[in-house]
Amino acid sequence: MEVTMDPLFLALSYFRRRRLQQCSDICTKILQDSPYDQAAWSLKTRALTEMVYIDEIEVDQEGIAEMMLDESSIAQVARPGTSLRLPGTSQGGGPTPAVRPLTQSGRPITGFVRPSTQSGRPGTMEQAIKTPRTASTARPVTSASGRFIRLGTASMLTNPEGPYINLSRLNLAKYSQKPHLSRTLFEYIFHHENDVKNALDLAAQATEHAQFKDWWWKVQLGKCYYRLGLYRESEKQFRSALNHKEVVDTYLYLAKVYQRLDQPITALNLFKQGLDHFPGEVTLLTGIARIHEEMNNISSATEYYKDVLKQDNTHVEAIACIGSNHFYTDQPEIALRFYRRLLQMGVYNCQLYNNLGLCCFYAQQYDMTLSSFERAQALVANDQEQADVWYNIGHVAVGIAELTLAYQCFKLALAFNNDHAEAYNNLAVLELRKGRIEQSKAFLQTAASLAPHMYEPHFNLSILSEKIGDLQSSYTAAQKSEDSFPEHVDTQQLLKQLRQHFAEL
């Protein structure tokens, strides 16, 4: 006779081995036989939650509505160095846009992207709406209607019998009395169903049941308030949770609230408080480094990333950020060592090989350059990445004076991503070398309209217009270039020249 394992035990074992689908299937069978089996019910809830679980600390998406109709900020015009919204206030002596490309929000590009850094905060409503809506930068109108809802509905769609737990028929008051069920239920509602209002109800009743003494429920309440955009309420909950018990996560959540409220200094102080209780905690150190980086204070960000590496020498984010910083401060050979370290650690993707290729080229290790780019090409996941890799190969081609190859590369970049403003600009420069003025001008105008934050297309357009004698357009273009990069010497000179010209008329 065959001995079968106890199904619940098997399900638990599957859960531990993260075979979540199998675990959930077994639980479904158990529940069909005995619908009131609380253990199986709870386990299935956990399995379903784990399938779609994402770290709440990392998740941060701002919709247009949150950004533009934001009333929680204290000062509309903040003093320099106290706000995350003024990317231009660099005090750290970081690299200028002349050597380091900018993101759309006018911040230097970093070595690492997280959900919250994907696209920065545009300055005006017009810019927010004009931001190109490609697949990777599509911004939800409000964050509540963004990715979360899409994920939530999708998880329901895949289940032909409808949702596993019918929230509207659930007696939340009953469940909140049962501590062993309420927590898994809460996580299910919060992560799987994305029904923040019901989750908040449950958390409120449960914390009442625990006589307001359970820090866990307070943190959950804070998370719910945060998702609903009630930042001050969530701050209160997190503070109160910290009074009960010092937990690293709570510090991180609270810092996230302050960042959303645009109070980076408060967040920094909080992280330092956290470090007093948990010395050398990597996540807190990373938090400090990220804030410095977002405030354009690259050199102190790098210092903190180095501290992170002292604690955890396999921290991908820290290595990538230090590496990119070295690359853009003219030390590609050191950057190469950092990226090579990542490769040794087992990171294996298109971005890394692309960066290795660039570092190799600028560190004069020509033998490795093209093979790295070949690997990058083989590993691309989407058209945007493909375009970026071609764009960088184009740079290598420019570097070895293979202008035909460069031309083809930039064209290919545009074929894969029609919104690639940098490629348009570089193509325009090459076109002008060939003497095709009209073509070059058209490319520059396209680049300028696609990426108004870059100074290069404006500046190039200004030079081009000046050469063909169209001084007025040259002047307006130069002014735009000055707006996006005030310290650029060549723009200043050009403007001075033009003003002199106009004065003589």
d(CA 428, CA 437): 9
CB-wise, 112 or 215, nearer to another protein? 112
d(CA 252, CA 45): 26
Site string for another protein, 269-308 (x = CB under 8 A): ----------------------------------------
449 in helix, strand or coil? helix
CB-wise, 202 or 495, nearer to another protein? 495
Specify whether the CB–CB gap between 60 and 271 falls below 8 A.
no
d(CA 417, CA 437): 24
Least distance in angstroms from the C-beta of 136 to another protein: 9
Roughly what angle, to the nearest 10 degrees, separates helices 316-328 and 282-294?
30
Binding another protein by CB under 8 A: which of 19, 239, 340, 395? 395
Alpha-carbon distances of 161 from 5, 165, 170, rounded to whole Å? 28, 11, 17
Beta bridge partners of 108: 102
Q: Show Cβ contacts of residue 36 under 8 Å, excluding neighbours closer than 6 positions.
A: none
Least distance in angstroms from the C-beta of 444 to another protein: 9
Binding another protein by CB under 8 A: which of 54, 69, 141, 468? 54
d(CA 412, CA 415): 5
352 in helix, strand or coil? helix
Q: Does 454 bind another protein (CB under 8 A)?
A: yes
Q: Does 318 bind another protein (CB under 8 A)?
A: no
Maximum distance among all alpha carbons in the chain? 105
Least distance in angstroms from the C-beta of 143 to another protein: 13
Binding another protein by CB under 8 A: which of 104, 110, 296, 484? 110
- DSSP per-residue string spanning 276-290: HHSTT-HHHHHHHHH
Q: Does 115 bind another protein (CB under 8 A)?
A: yes
Least distance in angstroms from the C-beta of 281 to another protein: 18
Site string for another protein, 413-452 (x = CB under 8 A): --------xxx-xx-xx--x--------------------
Q: Show Cβ contacts of residue 42 under 8 Å, excluding neighbours closer than 6 positions.
A: 180, 181, 184
Phi first, then psi, for residue 108 (nearest 5°) are: -60, 145
Which residues 330-389 are close enough to bind another protein by CB under 8 A? 342, 347, 349-352, 354-355, 358, 362, 385, 388-389
Helical H segments across 114-263, by residue range:
125-130, 147-157, 172-176, 179-187, 196-209, 215-228, 231-244, 248-260
Binding another protein by CB under 8 A: which of 62, 262, 293, 456? 456
CB-wise, 262 or 431, nearer to another protein? 431
Q: Show Cβ contacts of residue 344 under 8 Å, excluding neighbours closer than 6 positions.
A: none
CB-wise, 172 or 360, nearer to another protein? 360
Q: Does 52 bind another protein (CB under 8 A)?
A: yes
Q: What value, to the nearest 5°, has the Cα angle with vertex 194 and ends 190 and 196?
A: 65
396 in helix, strand or coil? helix
Q: Does 477 bind another protein (CB under 8 A)?
A: no
Binding another protein by CB under 8 A: which of 150, 174, 310, 434? 150
Q: Which residue has the tokens 């990171």?
A: 347
Least distance in angstroms from the C-beta of 462 to another protein: 9
d(CA 206, CA 424): 57
Binding another protein by CB under 8 A: which of 39, 65, 100, 248? 100
3-state secondary structure 369-386: HHHHHHHHHHCCCCHHHH
Least distance in angstroms from the C-beta of 457 to another protein: 8
Specify whether the CB–CB gap between 407 and 430 falls below 8 A.
yes
What is the CA 219 to chain-centroid distance, rounded? 24
CB-wise, 9 or 366, nearer to another protein? 366
Which residues 216-255 are close enough to bind another protein by CB under 8 A? none
How big is the chain, counted in residues?
Answer: 505
Q: Does 486 bind another protein (CB under 8 A)?
A: no
Q: Does 158 bind another protein (CB under 8 A)?
A: yes
Q: Does 151 bind another protein (CB under 8 A)?
A: yes
Q: Does 118 bind another protein (CB under 8 A)?
A: yes
Specify whether the CB–CB gap between 471 and 465 falls below 8 A.
yes
Q: In this chain, which stretch among 13-21, 40-48, 155-163, 194-202 interacts with another protein, using CB under 8 A?
A: 155-163
Nearest Cα neighbor of 63 from 157, 9, 129 is: 129
CB-wise, 110 or 220, nearer to another protein? 110
Site string for another protein, 1-40 (x = CB under 8 A): ----------------------------------------
List contacts with another protein (CB under 8 A): 52, 54-55, 58-59, 98-101, 109-115, 118, 147, 150-151, 154-155, 157-158, 316-317, 320, 324, 327-328, 342, 347, 349-352, 354-355, 358, 362, 385, 388-389, 391-392, 395, 398, 421-423, 425-426, 428-429, 432, 454, 456, 459-460, 463-464, 490, 493-494
